[in-house]
Structure 1
Amino acid sequence: MSQFIHSEQQKGVLTITLNRADKKNALDTQMYERLCQLFTYANETDEIRCLLIQGDEKCFCSGNDLADFIASANNNEELAAFKFIQALCQFEKPLIAAVAGPAVGIGTTMLLHCDMVIAASNSKFILPFSHVGICLEAGASLLLPLKVGSNRAFELGVLGNPFDAEQAYQYGIVNQVCEPEMLLEIAKHVAEKIARMPDDPVQTSRKLLRSATDKVLEQVIESERDEVMRLLKTDYCQSAVASLLN
């Protein structure tokens, strides 16, 4: 169990808090494994009506712990990050995110799976995959163009242009922008409001809203995974990651 993932169950909401401040909540193997356990628990527990994932009012998630990620890939291990992506894809209940500060890589692509995203005004989003020698993941090659259009998706997902909370709101990636000190309270209120609603119609409507993309999403995620694993072994990726780690 990772010490960097905290969870609390209250009023029908399971709140997951990323708590690795010294690494800006970068996700390593143990954190991914714990996230998978909690997503499975939430899916299988009737009392949980909504899942809320958050950091704090200063930081959401700076993406993968690159040293851990590359070490696992070089050892030909099944990457825990991909297990988490599958858990995101297969999650059946309302999923809310509260975002502040950096949301990098998976810190942004996981938001594309959320039903609602509340962002603090200090949020900074970036998809730097090309710059480190890999490609889009977590179904972003399907979900991002659906959110923002193909041209904007290229700008954000391939060029890796950073964007702020107001731009994310305009692009339809987040539902609401608030002051950082209000973020966690607002997200909690939204999650609890959803949890009080009748479970069957909420989950049925959610399933219907996602039915068109769900039919192809797992196939897209599998293709992305194969390409990421291929690109991780290229000289460019190895060199780019080494320069970042040094």
Structure 2
Amino acid sequence: MTDHVRSTRDGRVLHLTLARPEKKNALTRAMYAALADTLTEASGDAQVRAVVLSGEGGSFTAGNDLFDFMMEPPTDETSPVFQFLHAAVAFPKPLIAAVDGVAIGIGTTILLHCDLAYATPEARFKMPFTDLGLVPEAASSLLIPRMAGGAKAAELLLLGETFGAETAREVGLINGVEAEPLAVAMEKAHALAAKPPEAVRQSKALLRAPLRERVDAVMREEAELFIARLQSEEAQEAFTAFMEKRAPDFSRFE
């Protein structure tokens, strides 16, 4: 594990905490790798029956740490960010999220692959892929339209505007708005951990089965475009503007 991902056990519930509060839990390559490895290990650990994911310090995650991200951008699906996404999609046991504060980029899209999710009234969600010259990831281009409808999906993924917890609940990203989402998430995780484990795993598999192959295919399509877009002039302008703390200028692009 990295110092920025903390793993604790509470009975048969594994609690993973994003612990980089000074950066609003922005995710580095090391954090992605740690999360991927831990989920893969937990998949085969009979003593783990459910996993809860949360953030420390009043934030879920600000998404990618752009400085770390651009030091070694992903070049294929073996990159840590994609390994984490694949581990989450393939995770056979209940995966539950507790969201507080910001949930940006993958902080929002990872909820598509959680079985349950709860957020504070103050939580703020955002998928700013087009703002960065990129495309959606985590099969969000498939799943968000199915959940929210085409018009709302265009609003969320093309405009990339910030939205609140009530909207997240209405479109199905979270199950509920709670004052203490981590307490609720842990309660639900323990309730699931007390149930017959194989029945829970098979039921989750049945729920996910109708779209599983399509999710995998769309994730590959998105990843190819995402990697290519990272080399684009639009993305370079977006990232450079971010690092220089200025507004990007896309006026010269056709």
Q: TM-score range with shorter-chain normalisation?
A: over 0.9
Query: Which of residues 204, 207, 217 in structure 1 aligns to 2:205?
Result: 207
Q: How does 1:76-115 map to 2 (within 5 A)?
A: 78-115=78-115
Counterparts of 2:147 and 2:76, CA distance in 1: 33
Counterparts of 1:67 and 1:74, CA distance in 2: 13
Cross-structure match for 2:13: 13
Greater helix share, structure number: 1
SS of the residue corresponding to residue 17 of structure 2 reads: strand
Counterparts of 2:120 and 2:159, CA distance in 1: 24
Matched-pair contact (CA < 8 Å) for 1:57–1:120: no
Q: Deviations over 1:186-234 (max 9, x none)?
A: 1111111111111111111111111111021111111100000111101
Cα gap change, 1:188/1:77 in structure 2, threshold over 3 Å: closer, same or farther? closer
Matched-pair contact (CA < 8 Å) for 2:24–2:57: no
> Aligned-residue CA RMSD in angstroms?
1.5
Letter in 2 for 1:231: R
Shift of residue 119, structure 1, vs aligned partner: 0.5
Matched-pair contact (CA < 8 Å) for 2:137–2:219: yes
Paired residues, number: 244
Q: How does 1:138-157 map to 2 (within 5 A)?
A: 138-157=138-157
Counterparts of 1:143 and 1:201, CA distance in 2: 25
Q: How does 1:14-53 map to 2 (within 5 A)?
A: 14-53=14-53
| 2:223 is the counterpart of 1:231 | no
Shift of residue 121, structure 1, vs aligned partner: 0.8
Q: Which runs of 5+ in 2 are unaligned?
A: 245-254
Letter in 1 for 2:196: P
Runs (4 or more) in structure 1 with deviation over 4 Å come to 74-78
Shift of residue 83, structure 1, vs aligned partner: 1.1
Matched-pair contact (CA < 8 Å) for 1:56–1:184: no
Q: Which runs of 5+ in 1 are unaligned?
A: none
Cα gap change, 1:204/1:23 in structure 2, threshold over 3 Å: closer, same or farther? same
Letter in 2 for 1:191: A
Shift of residue 57, structure 1, vs aligned partner: 6.2
Counterparts of 2:190 and 2:229, CA distance in 1: 41
Counterparts of 1:65 and 1:21, CA distance in 2: 12
TM-score norm. by structure 2 comes to: 0.92
Counterparts of 1:82 and 1:40, CA distance in 2: 13
Identity of aligned residues (%): 36
